[in-house]
Amino acid sequence: MTAATTTAGVRLPAGFRARYDDLSVRYYAGALSETDLRAWHDERLTTVLKHVTTRSPFYRRHLAGIVVDAVTTSTLAALPFTTKEDLRREMYGVLSGPMSEAAIYYETTGTTGASTPCPRGPKDILTSNRAVEQSWRRLLRHRFGDRMPVIGLMGPSELYAFGDVFTAVAESVGACHVKIWPESPRVGFRKALRLIEELGVEVVVCAPALCLSLAKAALHYGYDLRRLPIKMFLVLGEICTPQLRANVSSLWPDATVYPTLYGSQEALCIATGAHTGEMHLAGLNYIAEVVDPRTGASRGPFGEGELVLTMLVDGIKPLIRYRTGDLVRVRPGRPDAPLPGPVVEVLGRAADRIRVGAADLQPAELEALVLEDVRGCLGYQIVLDNDGTQDTVTVRLDLVPALAGEAPAIGAAVAARLRERTGVRAGLTVEADLDPVTSTGSFVSWKAARILDNRTAPDAAVLAAREVAHRYAITT
């Protein structure tokens, strides 16, 4: 069998590479018709279903009795879901092949349950990285023209795909990169800031919470944020509302903030960002559905609800109707959008929905209520109490006075927004030393990092976030 080498240096069938390259060029040029895209989806769906029912012990049982050739994109919703519980229970049994066929091994963090294996094979790497590469080429060209900036990668863990994916993509676009992970005990914030200054790092790839922590660390170590070279933050890994992006830009006056990737260890790169601030589904690699998060009833390809994915690449671990646990809004992309594919707006984890007073709030909605028109904020935490008759909310903000303005006016505005939406009494405190858990971002969950709910005992996610909070300390 002939083979071709991917950008990551692994091998895959040359026929697949040539076919995917052709479709990818047409797709990202806006020249792939809806008819051709549907034909690709139907073809790949059949291929993947045959692949998993033949090679995965789990799917052989899970899809027993399914006539694979009869399943189309229009009848896909009749198949059973794959859940995170399935992945944790079955572990390596979900894989569609032995580990020797993978190119590299990753796994989930395991902060709130068993770490599940997430190896990637040659096809997985090629197709997932292609979506990121196309996004980066457009984002970097929009900001820097023909000049390539130095890129700083601030990732979470060596067992995460972050470092390898963005290393490969930086190489493919011709950009110098440096791995400066401030949570690493061998790097830390002080060395990360020194390298940013000395190397002229203009693009930082990180979680949204790290944009704030980096600013706080820079001020702590005596840096002038206006003199550091950062021009762009490419953020991923947790919700990042327009309100948070605007606040980050207020701290870093020369920097713009763009979402760069929405994905997961098990589902790879689901959507990538554009300079519009929108993220677009990697439409060659997935069939996306939106379902009711409570009943599982399908709402079709667009709308608001929980995202369900069927992966179209017959790699080492394709998933069929996988319930991501993420709340999203999906809508068709505009014809003039910088990237093709439906727009995916991530609202937060379904498990992170929270009841406050009369309102059932999604994470993105609560963050927007707190940070609307707030500037110069280095961190925030939302404290929920109940006085015996009703809920109360206290918002804790770490503010840079010169950028934020008058605290009483900020507090009044935040309280008014929360009162109008939830009906509860709300107030604000300004605190220079917030709970360190607020810097953990999505390492465990947005809710564990941002919400202190005194109405109930801490759950497993909260306890896990508290346990790792020391890794994110700025001064160690």
User: Mean per-residue pLDDT for 44-50?
Assistant: 98
Give 162 or 468, the one with higher predicted confidence.
Answer: 162
Q: Using pLDDT thresholds of 50, 70 and 90, give the confidence band for residue 32.
A: very high
Q: Using pLDDT thresholds of 50, 70 and 90, give the confidence band for residue 109.
A: confident
The predicted pLDDT at position 9 comes to: 46
The predicted pLDDT at position 158 comes to: 56
User: Mean per-residue pLDDT for 325-352?
Assistant: 94
Judged against a pLDDT cut of 70, whether residue 475 lies above it is answered with no
Judged against a pLDDT cut of 60, whether residue 399 lies above it is answered with yes
Q: Give ∠ CA 352-260-268 in degrees, rounded to 5.
A: 70
Whether domain 1-349 has CATH 3.40.50.12780: yes
Q: Which one, of 401, 370, 445, 334, lies nearest residue 111 by Cα?
A: 445
Q: Name the residue with tokens 């895959």.
A: 12
Judged against a pLDDT cut of 50, whether residue 8 lies above it is answered with no
The predicted pLDDT at position 13 comes to: 78
Judged against a pLDDT cut of 80, whether residue 125 lies above it is answered with yes
Bridge-based pairing state of the strands 279-281 and 286-291:
unpaired
User: Mean per-residue pLDDT for 158-165?
Assistant: 80
The predicted pLDDT at position 159 comes to: 56
The predicted pLDDT at position 111 comes to: 65
Q: Name the residue with tokens 């109930």.
A: 456
The predicted pLDDT at position 454 comes to: 94
Q: Name the residue with tokens 């569609």.
A: 96
Judged against a pLDDT cut of 80, whether residue 7 lies above it is answered with no
- Please tell me the least confidently modeled range out of 7-11, 102-106, 277-281: 7-11
User: Mean per-residue pLDDT for 93-116?
Assistant: 88
Domain-wise residue ranges, the chain? 1-349, 353-472
The predicted pLDDT at position 5 comes to: 46
Q: Using pLDDT thresholds of 50, 70 and 90, give the confidence band for residue 2.
A: very low
Judged against a pLDDT cut of 60, whether residue 332 lies above it is answered with yes
Bridge-based pairing state of the strands 256-264 and 11-13:
unpaired
Please return the burial class of 410, using the count of CB atoms within 10 Å of its CB with bins 0-12, 13-18 and 19+: buried
User: Mean per-residue pLDDT for 184-213?
Assistant: 93
For the domain spanning 353-472, the CATH number is 3.30.300.30
Indicate the pTM of the whole model.
0.92
Cα separation, 307 vs 291, whole angstroms = 7
- Please tell me the least confidently modeled range out of 127-141, 205-219, 337-351, 446-460: 446-460
Average pLDDT across the chain, whole number: 92
Judged against a pLDDT cut of 50, whether residue 149 lies above it is answered with yes
Give 184 or 10, the one with higher predicted confidence.
Answer: 184
User: Mean per-residue pLDDT for 73-95?
Assistant: 96
Judged against a pLDDT cut of 50, whether residue 6 lies above it is answered with no
Percent of the chain residues past pLDDT 70, beyond the cut: 95
